[in-house]
Chain A
Amino acid sequence: MKPAFTVENLNFKYPTAKEDTIKGISFEVFEGEIFGLLGPSGAGKSTIQKILIKLLEGYRGTIKYFGRDLNSLDNSYYEEIGVGFEVPVHFSKLTALENMKFFSGFYKSRANIQELMERVGLWEYRDVKVAEFSKGMKVRLNFVRAMLNSPRVLFLDEVTNGLDPNNAKIIKDMIAEFRAKGGTVFLTTHLMNDVEQLCDRIAFCVNGRLVETSTPRDLKLKYGKREVKVEYRDNGNLKSALFPLDGIGFNEEFQTLLKFGKIETIHSGETSMEEIFIIVTGVELK
């Protein structure tokens, strides 16, 4: 896989800030992968995304987009990327379809608006003013907005925040399909479900620095406990026992429990993404 973005020693300071918000971070996002950027509020995730979509300028360090310096790219860069902001970004007095047609008109490559809106369940509300939309409908329309130009790279910020599980699944399926067709996704989120279900690799951003970059699986292995927890009934009472994962096939107590115990659950000591988030960032998820 070739890198879509290569970020080296990125530093950024807001004009009124006393110190750098982004402090010398480096990472790569490969073409065709879903890269998740995680971190607590104020860690610098949105700033990194704003720099990558060229909303913020004046950074130090180098950013390459498919080998080309990001600073050297003109506005045609926006023909290739789709941006889904965290907050709804629509003209409230225009209908959903009017909004989509307006934004779509500025691109050379245009996706089928009807198909996209049908997929997210908004086509039947196309003539309703966005002001009358619920939060979830606005979030879905945000996603359609990001996909309007059939982008090569998608930037998504809290893409399923505020969606019910059914609509969240539809959006996640669409993101996975986008990736399957070769698209690259840069996902910023605090929803660990999204991370587990979507991301190929994730990076944790804390206080302007990337403290951990890996795959969800490797992180689970790294931070997980190598043990197995068994819950079983003994004379009607619920009991549990922990066994070390290493050499478990030769563990007689475990083997006996498997053969003769009334087992209710067996869990490996795999850590959840929430726990990893707390361990890595030192911040509880809200």
Chain B
Amino acid sequence: MRGLVKLTAGELKRLARYKILAASLATSILWIILFLFISKSEAAEIAPHLIIIDVTAMSVLLIGASHHLEKQEGTLKTIIVTPLSLGQILTAKTLSSIALSIQSVAVTCAALYFIHKITFNYILLLFFILIAGASHAAIAFLLSIRSRDFTTMLALYAGYMFVFTIPSFLFNFGIIQAKFEWLLMLSPTHSSSRLIISAVSGEYDYTLVTIGALYLILLTAALFRLVVYPIFKDNAARG
């Protein structure tokens, strides 16, 4: 446990040193500026989508960038030859990615409150961010270890977005009909989107939310256990 805490603290420290935290805050400031120029109803409409981007796309990009940078610097190898377990290493990276999402969402929520007096169920949102963030961390690791460098990883992620993210956005903007949502729930991004929109809007389809949450939890466990864990060490060793 002590090792996990130290490792996570180290990850967070590096997020600050490598200016990733600052970049994330800068993105949040863009959202704040946007909120200043739109109405309360427009802000309420757009807010969940910004949070979805923070929790899904930003997580994937952060983990991908950090994975390839650490491979380039050789630090993954040298962490692996410490007494830490691979589980601790992956958990610390996932936690730090989720922490960054929470920080970004917290700024967005604060801006929504102070500018438009918009509030939501923050506890539930936090819970859903944990689930969505963890599943997208698993996806990010999968894409990272399957790519040669960050550029190839971006290309893979673009493919992922084409299949899983764009249909979800088309659905959210009413272009894909509601009857297809069950099929769309197979998309980790759409399941995450369903959870986050529910927490922000306060309108729940309990069946879809429950299935979405369970699906993401099972998907996260399966991806880490069956795909990421067995090849992460070998991938790091080759870096």
Contact = CB atoms under 8 A, between A and B. Distances in A.
Pick the most buried of A53, A57, A92, A106: most chain B CB atoms within 10 A of its CB.
A106
Determine chain B's interface SS by DSSP, over half rule.
helix
Task: Give the interface residue-count category, chain B.
Answer: 20 to 34
Contacts of A53: 81
A55 B17 contact: no
Given A50-B237, A93-B14, A105-B6, A76 B83 contact: yes
B82 A78 contact: yes
A258 interface: no
Interface string B55-95: 00000000000000000011101111111110000000000
A56 B74 CA distance: 16
A66 interface: no
A107 B82 contact: yes
Interface string B10-29: 10011001100000000000
Nearest to B78: A89
B83 A89 contact: no
A79 B80 contact: no
B159 interface: no
Interface in A75-90: 75-76, 78-79, 81, 83, 85, 87-90
B45 interface: no
A102 interface: yes
B3 interface: yes
A75 B74 contact: no
A145 B78 contact: yes
B78 A83 contact: yes
A263 interface: no
A127 to B, nearest CB: 14
A92 B237 CA distance: 19
A42 B225 CA distance: 33
Contacts of B6: 102, 105-106
Contacts of B81: 53-55, 78, 81, 83
A90 B80 CA distance: 13
Interface string A36-71: 000000000000001001111100000000000000
Pick the most buried of A81, A83, A90, A105: most chain B CB atoms within 10 A of its CB.
A105
Given A55-B81, A106-B83, A106-B84, A93 B237 contact: no
Contacts of A93: 14, 17-18
A13 B7 CA distance: 32
Given A87-B74, A91-B75, A56 B84 contact: no
A85 B78 contact: yes
A94 interface: yes
A147 B233 CA distance: 23
Contacts of A56: 234, 237
Contacts of B79: 103
Contacts of B84: 75, 106
Given A93-B18, A106-B6, A75 B83 contact: yes
Contacts of A89: 73-75, 77-78
A91 B14 CA distance: 8
A203 B82 CA distance: 27
Interface in B87-134: none
Interface string A90-134: 111110000000110111100000000000000000000000000
A91 B75 CA distance: 7
A117 to B, nearest CB: 17
B46 to A, nearest CB: 34
B82 A85 contact: no
A92 B6 CA distance: 19
8 contacts: A55-B237, A57-B234, A76-B83, A85-B77, A85-B78, A102-B6, A106-B7, A108-B83
Interface of A: 15, 50, 53-57, 75-76, 78-79, 81, 83, 85, 87-94, 102-103, 105-108, 145
3 smallest CB-CB distances across A and B, nearest first, come from: A89-B74, A55-B237, A89-B78
Given A50-B237, A75-B83, A93-B14, 18 more contacts: A54-B81, A55-B236, A56-B234, A78-B81, A78-B82, A83-B78, A87-B74, A89-B73, A89-B74, A89-B77, A89-B78, A91-B14, A94-B13, A102-B6, A103-B82, A106-B3, A106-B6, A145-B78
